[in-house]
Amino acid sequence: MTEQSRFGRFLSATAVALTGTALMLSGVQAQTIKIGAPLALTGGLADEGRKQAIAYDMWLKRINAAGGIDVGGRKMRVELVQYDYQTNEQRAQQLAEKLIVDDKVNFLLAPFGSGHTKVVAGVAERYGVPVMATSASSDSIFNQGYKHLFGTLAPNSGSVENLITVVTRQMPNAKRIAILGREDVFPKAMATVMSDSAKKAGLQIISLEYYPVGVLDLATPIAKIKSMNPDWIYITGYSKDLVLARKQMQDLGVKAPVVTMITGPVYKEFIDALGPLAEGVTSASWWHHSAQFRGNDPWGSTKAFYDEFVAREKADPDYVHAAAAAALVALQKAIENAKTLDRAKVRDALAALDIVTFYGPIKFAANGMNGGRDLPIIQVQGGKPVLLYPEALKQGNLQSVK
């Protein structure tokens, strides 16, 4: 064999190998669905971001164990591309853009909280990428005219109205309410929505104040509330603010028959951090594991989701975990219905979605929010959250705070 022909054969062999690899690689690329997720793994919302991460992981493992999502007859595995945006709003925006432009994700998941969801939704809308909001419930996020934003939490007003129903029915003498809210998208929205609904229900709002982000002391506003003698104290904020507030209420000897904190008591860490002080605090939630549903999703039933979570985390799941997993389920179902990964078609499939899952019914209204479901009201009794509402599922009655 001559030198040339040996070299020639080497060249063609290499060419074949390279082409084969390229074909294989492109084949592999085309086989995965990429979903981008900016997560707050550090910074002020690190605790909440972690909850989303757990829920995403649970869904991812299940869906890939079943071979992936069915796209028009072909099963495609799912890949989750995660970045830590450090609870920094600008970084959330930059990472969302990076996920779309560099990582070429097919779809996006929004970060925790209405504030940062808004920012990411803006980026997604610009690029025409459907984005699932797992923990945003404020109307101000969904009234921007975005066509690509869909959220699994129901609107704020629904939970507040159910709360008022429970209190006015079971404690009709509680007429004077004091509201203290955190100056942050979701907590402020919950405070204003309560103020509006309370007025409509005939309650008297004796105080409505806001405290800034990053507060280390709430003694003065709480002492002010004390001097007004309210029947109902309603405070919104994130876990550490609420723990501080409840403790300072005890410090200053502030008592009222009804104490509501949004959304403290639905989280285990709130109850752990307060011990006996958590007793009697009420809250509203978007989901409670005792409301049993059956659905055509990777878990099939609320109980299956609950059991897997408890086995994995040794604690009860809260609505953040459930809503995050449900968002992925909704996206999965929309892809299956659309039979394609085409963003516009999946977007339309999301808009038309009407299903029941382990999380309950999912049907998006025109603005992208999940239709108002019968949002549960809970109260901490005996160290555990007890369901007060809806009537059909309730486990106990409203008790006065001692």
Partner 1 sequence: MEYGQVIANGLMLGGLYACIAVGFSLVWGVLNVINMLHGSFIILGGYLTFFAWLHLKVNPLVALAPVAAVLFSIGFLVQYLLVNRVITQPVLTTLTLTFGLDMILYNAMNLAFEATPRRIVLDLGRLHLGGVILPYDRVVAMALALVLTAILYLVLRTSRTGRAIVAVRMDRDAAALMGIRVNRVYAITFGIGALMAGACGALVAVVFPITTSVTGLFLGKAFVICVIGGLGSVPGALVGGLALGMIESLASFWFGPQQAILVGFLIMLVLLMVRPTGLVGKKGYE
The residues that touch partner 1, with contacts defined as CB under 8 A, are 41-47, 50, 87, 180, 183, 209-212, 214-221, 223-224, 227, 239-240, 243-244, 247, 250-253, 269, 272-277
Helix (H) or strand (E) holding 393: none
We find the least distance from the C-beta atom of residue 248 to partner 1, in angstroms, to be 8
Q: Which two tokens stand for residue 118?
A: 């808004």
Helix axes 302-313, 46-65, angle to 10 degrees: 120
Q: Which is nearer to partner 1, 50 or 394 (CB)?
A: 50
* Of residues 48 and 161, the one with the C-beta less far from partner 1: 48
Query: Rounded to the nearest whole angstrom, what is the least distance from the CB of residue 228 to partner 1 in the complex?
Result: 9
Separation of CA 176 from chain center: 31
Among residues 43 and 396, whose Cβ is nearest to partner 1?
A: 43
String of DSSP letters for 282-320: EEE-S--TTS--B-SSSS-BHHHHHHHHHHHHSS---HH
Per DSSP, which regions of 98-190 are E strands?
A: 107-109, 131-133, 149-151, 176-182
Least distance CB 82 / partner 1 (angstroms): 16
How far is residue 100's CA from residue 201's CA, in Å, rounded to a whole number?
Answer: 46
Least distance in angstroms from the C-beta of 313 to partner 1:
12
Report the residue number, 37 or 40, with the smaller CB distance to partner 1.
40
* Shortest distance, position 191 Cβ to partner 1, whole Å: 12
Backbone torsions φ then ψ of 178, nearest 5 degrees: -110, 130
> What is the rounded CA–CA span in Å between residue 267 and residue 263?
7
d(CA 154, CA 369) in angstroms, rounded, equals: 6
Q: Which is nearer to partner 1, 121 or 218 (CB)?
A: 218
CB atoms within 10 A of CB 209: 12
The most distant pair of C-alpha atoms in the chain lies apart, rounded to whole Å, by 104
Kindly tell me which of 211 and 299 has the beta carbon lying closer to partner 1. Answer: 211
Q: State which residue, 216 or 392, has the beta carbon closest to partner 1.
A: 216
Measured from the CB atom, is 272 or 342 closer to partner 1? 272
Closest CA to 331 of 176, 124, 178, 43: 124
What residues contact residue 222 under an 8 Å CB cut-off, 6+ apart? 180, 245, 248, 249, 252, 254
